[in-house]
Structure 1
Amino acid sequence: MEILTKIKNFKKVSWGLVILCALSVIILVVLINHTEDNAEDSNAVTLDTLLSESSISDAEQEVEGTNERIGEERDLNVVVDVKGAVNNPGVFSLDANQRVIDAIDAADGLAEKADTKYINFAQLLEDEMYIYIPVEGEEIIGIEKSLEGAHAKDAKININDANEQILTQLNGIGPSKANDIIEYREKNGPFESIDEITKVSGIGEKTYEKISEYIEAK
């Protein structure tokens, strides 16, 4: 009887150990699966983040590249206004390395009786440049006086009586700045020296350096 009792007790203990081991295995499997799920989720988030960051970086590079191309295109092109004795006056977009003669060609060439003795066909174009071609016999105040007794290549524009059309022949001087020059001298009197033109709004040292050798104050 004692032996049977021991056998029964042993079976109970054995079944208890089996159940305990089984529970341990189940818990271990659950923990492993949970860890793998978390790892997969983490990897998925990391991959999504990397893809998102890569897309943003690619988009930023594309925008930068586009801006650079636009900047280069702007640097390579200028817009000029051609008026006067040409066949097709208007505003034209041309390459920055082209010259006044090319702008006149864009306006379908010179009209009949165009007076070109004051025009520098070889001058490089600048953005917002204003090109005016007078007709023969047309009085151009400012430049004709400066040409008296001098060769055309040595002519200078008198900033004290030149009109808008003449002033805009200067590099960097468009219609707006030309009008500012005229308004300044009407308000303050004639320019006493050419460097006084830097007191005009919008005309700084860089512009003055471009035009100083082509102007005079008489």
Structure 2
Amino acid sequence: MVNVEEDPFPQKLVAEVKGQVLRPGVYTLPEGSRLYELVALAGGTTSVAELRQVNLALRVLDGDSFYIPAVGEEPLLPASSTEGKSGSPAPMDLNRASKEDLMKVPGIGPATADNILKYREEKGRFSSVEELLEVPRIGEKTLEKIREYFILR
């Protein structure tokens, strides 16, 4: 007899981990997995891994790539946030960013940051970065300038 509560075809995701793990590579995990589970699949960390810079509780999304740094190593920024922009902030989670975080993005001032937070309070979590177009003061041109600064978790 099949248990109706068990999903016979659980959703899977594929993510990469590299840097200071014993077996860097691409792994398949159940949907909803956390970074610590991906690191465990990769055999754990090396003796020189710097885990103070890593949020092991981070939810892993399909297509994610994580880098575990070594002690003394500068954190790596995703390529999209560093192309031609020295000192750019790393992409932030649009669903968790504070007003201060949002204002670090070029093109977002106090009023726009407030509008994003108000939208998030009223409508709930953003389901895509494109949803910013529904926020007052954000049009197509602004979205194109700020899109690379956001991710969704």
Q: TM-score range by the shorter chain?
A: 0.5 to 0.7
Partner of residue 104, structure 1: 39
Distance 1:86 1:122, change over 3 A: same
Q: Which amino acid aligns with 2:32?
A: N
Partner of residue 182, structure 1: 82
CA distance in 1, matches of 2:46, 2:88: 35
CA distance in 1, matches of 2:65, 2:14: 9
- Please list every run of 5 or more consecutive structure 1 residues that lacks an aligned counterpart in the other structure: 1-71, 141-164, 168-177, 212-218
More helix by share: 1
TM-score, normalised to structure 1, is 0.38
- The one-character-per-residue Cα deviations of 1:158-183 (angstroms, maximum 9, x if unpaired) are xxxxxxx333xxxxxxxxxx33x322
For residue 208 of structure 1, report the CA deviation from its aligned partner: 3.2
Distance 1:195 1:105, change over 3 A: same
Larger RCO of the pair (alpha carbons < 8 Å, separation 6+): 2
* Aligned mate of 1:137, from 49, 55, 72: 72
Runs of 4+ in 1 over 6 A off after TM superposition: none
Please identify the structure whose Cα radius of gyration is greater.
Answer: 1
TM-score, normalised to structure 2, is 0.52
Structure 1 residue matching 2:39: 3-state secondary structure: helix
The reply on whether 1:90 has 2:32 as its aligned counterpart is no
Distance 1:104 1:209, change over 3 A: closer
Distance 1:120 1:209, change over 3 A: closer
- The one-character-per-residue Cα deviations of 1:89-139 (angstroms, maximum 9, x if unpaired) are 001111111100000011111111111001111111101111111111112
Identical columns (%): 26
Aligned residue runs from structure 1 range 68-217, under 5 A = 76-140=11-75, 165-167=76-78, 178-179=79-80, 181-183=81-83, 185=85, 193-194=104-105, 196=107, 198-200=143-145, 203=147, 208=150, 210=152
Contact 2:82 2:88 in 1 (8 A): no
Partner of residue 138, structure 2: none
CA distance in 1, matches of 2:47, 2:151: 36
Q: Which amino acid aligns with 1:208?
A: F
Structure 1 residue matching 2:83: 3-state secondary structure: helix
Distance 1:209 1:190, change over 3 A: closer
How many residues were matched structurally?
99
The root-mean-square deviation of aligned C-alpha atoms, in Å, is 3.4
Aligned residue runs from structure 1 range 49-64, under 5 A = none
Contact 1:198 1:208 in 2 (8 A): no
- The one-character-per-residue Cα deviations of 1:63-97 (angstroms, maximum 9, x if unpaired) are xxxxxxxxx76xx1111110000000001111111
